[in-house]
Structure 1
């Protein structure tokens, strides 16, 4: 007599194995990213050793390359949220496609536009002669690089999009103060820059609110929304194209383009006109296909939003790679010119610095790997956890971010793209919250004069906990990175005696 197999027991065993496999994957996946990041940092140090050979400064260069790679990884992990967060939150791009597109755009922008690092803000803030001795300069730049990377890493783990420019400037200030005293820093200039950092998110929020109100007035609140969309969406997309043309002209490094403000404005007008000529037939054709579908108006903004996200990632790679490789390039220049000694005093670490190709590759690949390995956390934060975005709201965020950079550049204000983009997300969310509350007051005034406090709290469209976390991180970035950098410099200085 044959025994029938107990299929129920087998199913239970397979279910347990599947559960173990899921738990193992959940545990191993973060470790895989960490392992790849550590391997990349080790390869960066090995690359420095292969380039410099048996030079007396090889060990210091290897250490600097490892921490430069660490900083690049963290900048990619944190800053990508500003560019891709709105597109992912609006469901214009899936997360995987957004990360791949951002990584490719970041690498392309960094390799094409990042061959020179010009630390204009640092040159205005710090007296270069105060830290001109090569040994002090190397220790100061190493301290700034380590401190900035540690803070950005912590902020990413906490889920707070912070300004990497703000972090590196704070770290340089801290190391310089520890090395040469408070007199080496122009605190009046720093006060002006800090003021611009506070104003830029407000400007971004105001422009995003104004754009959203304009779209609602021109399209969303019209009886025939599709007819209004056929008329105004090409105009809005033309404005977006013109704004991004000026944004590129002002934001990209001189190696790619260095137009005057008048030339940038002319480029914007030409790009806007071309964008209108291209967008109008495309919008009309697409509107005819979506005539009776739900969400048709939002769908018209989806493709331009994807293009904007990729362009912003390209510009970020070209411009902000300086934050990743600036200190490393400075260290390489100092050691090459001085042989690692304490002379001469004329080396100026804040002058334009030609970047070796291997240093540029570390910055470009480091930011791309940071995007792919650790980007999703901040992308989700900016794209969906602060407030709910759709293609129209995300369009307002991206366009207002570009416009804010344009306005700030013409006013001579150094702004943070993180502050601008996140401020625009806040602006969209608070505007929606204001309009929803206004509609409830008008609709329910007669029957229900007011809502209980708990009910009003549940109806908020912006998550206050995230707002407070992000604002707190912004406020403490400069003092914390400065204090951390000063402490690291003091330790390195004591060890180097």
Structure 2
């Protein structure tokens, strides 16, 4: 009878050591990102301490610098995914290249064009006279920063892209109510923000769906796709160039130069014309020899997505860095001068905290939300991702023209939803698509194949409903959740700060 082979004691010990080493490496990888983030916060605290040595209120400034750094990290982890997620999901760029491009352009936008002058009461949410006491104001701003950062951190963990602007607005509102009562809040402004919950995603989704419908009608379902692409792709790229020029003129360069809507649109038209003239011969060369199929068309839309990701990141850095450093700058000003001002300029070191924090947060924690926006809500290819990017720029321009407050996060994610829901409708209902499918499969009887199994019908939905409900729920409760948390933190801070 053959004997059962048994491991020797030495082999068992070596196996245990190997398992322990593998577990240590795995745990080390999980702790690397939080460790680096903590190191960044410590560095920001030390930098702040070096700037405020001997200044009145120095301890408060140092503490606020650490909180502001934490807020910036969370903005990078959550909000930047909307800029590069569609391009990554469409395979137009890798995750690594997307993170590098976004980090560089986010920082450039924040440092070059960001932080013009930030209202200390964050966009007029609270009446400055209601929190004129410096101690009250400082506690309110710190509570707003901590609460909004904690909420964004939770949303990132839940893989829900939320508006960082709405988070900080909710935090300021909650702290203001706790400090001075309900009457201190500018309720018409809050009403406009509530309206943006609906307007932003709807506008983004409708425009993205309309652009996708145009591409399908005039390019995808044409008999000669390549000829149609040669005609329309340069026009679409020109529209994107014009839209982004106007977008950056109005939203991304406000610190450098003030440009009204009419001038921005004029610049956009000029940029679009130049882009069409430059891109048309390039598209002709790229399309030469391509097969007459959809896969060939996707190659023509890849390069514009890289540029759109960079430009969206630049504009985002220019605008949303204020969400991280606006309250921080207000605290610094109040602590140094001992008075509350309606408007303050942001010191360079404070701006650097926001710019670097957003970029580092993106690199360390951003891939989770990048994959969510680009891959897990609905399936994107370069053509669909182009629709999302174009919608983000056009929607901001339209909202600015109408005087509507909108969220870039809600616009971008709403555009992804719009593309997915439009594809669901188009797949089941479009007469043009049905005719195209029947022409390629003559044996069909002029109708789509019915789906009799309900479970199969659910699986064939092109937008994942679980992500849709999670994200929409997070949008709805962002302001009240941040407000409630901020109100509670305000009372704690008042006890600590005296």
Q: Say whether the fold is shared (TM-score over 0.5).
A: yes
Whether contact under 8 Å (1:253, 1:319) holds in the other structure is no
* 1:125 match: secondary structure: coil
Task: Supply the distance in 1 between the matched residues of 2:320 and 2:423 (Cα, whole angstroms).
Answer: 32
What are the equivalent positions in structure 2 for 1:78-89 lying under 5 Å apart?
Answer: 78-89=78-89
- 2:6 — aligned with what? none
- 2:390 — aligned with what? 399
- 1:271 — aligned with what? 271
1:375 aligned to 2:376?
no
Deviations 1:98-133 (A, max 9, x none): 001111111111110124343499443321110121
Structure 2 residues without counterparts, runs of 5 or longer:
1-8, 435-443
Task: Supply the distance in 2 between the matched residues of 1:97 and 1:220 (Cα, whole angstroms).
Answer: 29
- 2:478 — aligned with what? 477
Moved more, 133-142 or 283-292: 283-292
Deviations 1:462-497 (A, max 9, x none): 110000110110011000000000000011112333
Say if 1:53 and 1:219 are closer, same or farther in 2 by CA, change over 3 A. Answer: same
- 2:465 — aligned with what? 464
- 2:341 — aligned with what? 348
- 2:176 — aligned with what? 176
Following superposition, the deviation at residue 450 of structure 1 comes to 5.2
Task: Supply the distance in 2 between the matched residues of 1:413 and 1:90 (Cα, whole angstroms).
Answer: 30
* 1:40 match: secondary structure: helix
Following superposition, the deviation at residue 402 of structure 1 comes to 0.6
1:422 to 389, 413, 419: 413
Task: Supply the distance in 2 between the matched residues of 1:272 and 1:143 (Cα, whole angstroms).
Answer: 45
- 2:320 — aligned with what? 320
Following superposition, the deviation at residue 182 of structure 1 comes to 0.4
What are the equivalent positions in structure 2 for 1:36-435 lying under 5 Å apart?
Answer: 36-119=36-119, 122-288=122-288, 290-291=290-291, 295-338=295-338, 344=339, 347-349=340-342, 351=343, 353-435=344-426
Whether contact under 8 Å (1:117, 1:322) holds in the other structure is no
Task: Supply the distance in 2 between the matched residues of 1:330 and 1:263 (Cα, whole angstroms).
Answer: 32
- 1:490 — aligned with what? 491
Task: Supply the distance in 2 between the matched residues of 1:447 and 1:291 (Cα, whole angstroms).
Answer: 27
Task: Supply the distance in 2 between the matched residues of 1:200 and 1:471 (Cα, whole angstroms).
Answer: 12
**Residues matched between the structures, number:** 483
Whether contact under 8 Å (2:120, 2:330) holds in the other structure is no
* 2:92 match: secondary structure: coil
Task: Supply the distance in 1 between the matched residues of 2:153 and 2:335 (Cα, whole angstroms).
Answer: 28
Task: Supply the distance in 2 between the matched residues of 1:94 and 1:20 (Cα, whole angstroms).
Answer: 33
Say if 1:372 and 1:11 are closer, same or farther in 2 by CA, change over 3 A. Answer: farther
Whether contact under 8 Å (1:212, 1:393) holds in the other structure is yes
Structure 1 residues without counterparts, runs of 5 or longer:
1-8, 339-343
* 1:300 match: secondary structure: helix
Task: Supply the distance in 1 between the matched residues of 2:350 and 2:188 (Cα, whole angstroms).
Answer: 33
Say if 1:449 and 1:111 are closer, same or farther in 2 by CA, change over 3 A. Answer: closer
Whether contact under 8 Å (2:118, 2:345) holds in the other structure is no
Say if 1:126 and 1:283 are closer, same or farther in 2 by CA, change over 3 A. Answer: same
Whether contact under 8 Å (1:197, 1:414) holds in the other structure is no
* 1:460 match: secondary structure: coil
Moved more, 59-68 or 108-117: 108-117
Following superposition, the deviation at residue 293 of structure 1 comes to 8.0
Task: Supply the distance in 1 between the matched residues of 2:82 and 2:490 (Cα, whole angstroms).
Answer: 31
Following superposition, the deviation at residue 262 of structure 1 comes to 1.2
Task: Supply the distance in 2 between the matched residues of 1:159 and 1:286 (Cα, whole angstroms).
Answer: 38
Whether contact under 8 Å (1:41, 1:66) holds in the other structure is yes
Whether contact under 8 Å (2:225, 2:292) holds in the other structure is no
Task: Supply the distance in 1 between the matched residues of 2:447 and 2:215 (Cα, whole angstroms).
Answer: 30
Following superposition, the deviation at residue 296 of structure 1 comes to 1.5
Say if 1:278 and 1:491 are closer, same or farther in 2 by CA, change over 3 A. Answer: same
Whether contact under 8 Å (1:129, 1:348) holds in the other structure is no
Deviations 1:299-341 (A, max 9, x none): 1000011100011001111111000100100001111211xxx
Task: Supply the distance in 2 between the matched residues of 1:152 and 1:425 (Cα, whole angstroms).
Answer: 21
Say if 1:392 and 1:356 are closer, same or farther in 2 by CA, change over 3 A. Answer: same
Task: Supply the distance in 2 between the matched residues of 1:301 and 1:478 (Cα, whole angstroms).
Answer: 37
Say if 1:438 and 1:174 are closer, same or farther in 2 by CA, change over 3 A. Answer: same
Task: Supply the distance in 2 between the matched residues of 1:348 and 1:229 (Cα, whole angstroms).
Answer: 56
Say if 1:238 and 1:43 are closer, same or farther in 2 by CA, change over 3 A. Answer: same
Instruction: Tell me the C-alpha RMSD between the 2 structures.
Output: 2.6
Following superposition, the deviation at residue 224 of structure 1 comes to 0.4
Following superposition, the deviation at residue 58 of structure 1 comes to 1.6
Task: Supply the distance in 2 between the matched residues of 1:17 and 1:290 (Cα, whole angstroms).
Answer: 56
Task: Supply the distance in 2 between the matched residues of 1:378 and 1:98 (Cα, whole angstroms).
Answer: 13
